[in-house]
Structure 1
């Protein structure tokens, strides 16, 4: 990184921190750190009940829940239960990947579905960033934004993900 890194804002410090929205976090690390950062995000989400799905090389797709579970929970008033004990089978899809950014790599973790699980997903990604910083690894980047505000060429953008068959 050419300039002193400015740590990306965490979810709670972003403009979107008080809302359950489909969000994306972009953070910049050295290219040799990017594969481990992707794996760390995947591990953190697997610990939250996500499973790996098929994806193109260099892209990690994690899923949780189902459309049926989401419809039943949200359509029948059972969301009151989930507010007390946490999300059950609410559907969520997250894409994690890295792309070159100058001499560095920009890691993107993007929620393609899963508004209700936003606190779980954002907490896991923020924890990974915090661990990288605690290990003395420089982390830079814009931090959190809405997924739809990602550059259109980013595979974490919902339309681009759909075109690549990642949003099912």
Structure 2
């Protein structure tokens, strides 16, 4: 009897995960080989930067990127402009994304978490998913649970909204 081995399943994209493509806050938790940590973090932050996020602070290995403001959210939602666009000149939907890497043996566990906002969730996914796809295409082993709600992250993770707030990453 021949043994047929199934090809390893590709790391799930956000659309394949329980959070789907809905505009709810999302977080991606995955592990990569330690040697891939710095280039992965750089690629994720660059993807977010191209999507209008700006790096607001770096504390150790933690990177916090912001886009928009509460004022922009209020104007866009209050006037109905949110139905037309999520970005209008200096106004933009508000979001804060935390990017962190924690060593775990010979791997690094990377979290990309929307700790504030939810409307821009698909934009965040569009910045993260191609990075993971590129890692897999180059043969790097990508493991972990993938996409979930930030509140479903382990409580000790800086990507968990309560922990991020306690540590001062959000007001």
TM-score by length of 1: 0.90
- Where structure 1 has 5 or more consecutive residues not aligned to the other structure, the ranges are none
- Residue in 2 aligned with 1:123? 126
Secondary structure of the residue aligned to 1:32 is helix
Distance (Å, rounded) in 1 between the aligned partners of 2:87 and 2:17: 23
TM-score by length of 2: 0.89
8 Å contact 2:21–2:122 — kept in the other structure?
Answer: no
Query: Quick check: 1:140 aligned with 2:131?
Result: no
- Residue in 2 aligned with 1:14? 17
- Residue in 1 aligned with 2:168? 165
8 Å contact 1:26–1:109 — kept in the other structure?
Answer: yes
- Note the 1:86-97 alignment, pairs <5 A: 86-88=86-88, 89-97=92-100
- Residue in 1 aligned with 2:3? none
Distance (Å, rounded) in 2 between the aligned partners of 1:5 and 1:32: 21
Distance (Å, rounded) in 1 between the aligned partners of 2:117 and 2:87: 10
- Residue in 2 aligned with 1:40? 43
Alpha-carbon offset, residue 6 of structure 1: 5.0
- Residue in 2 aligned with 1:26? 29
Q: What is the Cα-based RMSD across aligned positions, in Å? A: 1.6
- Residue in 1 aligned with 2:71? 68
Alpha-carbon offset, residue 5 of structure 1: 6.6
8 Å contact 1:5–1:138 — kept in the other structure?
Answer: no
* Structure whose CA Rg is larger: 2
Alpha-carbon offset, residue 139 of structure 1: 0.9
Superposition misfits of 4+ residues, deviation over 4 angstroms: none
- Where structure 2 has 5 or more consecutive residues not aligned to the other structure, the ranges are 1-6
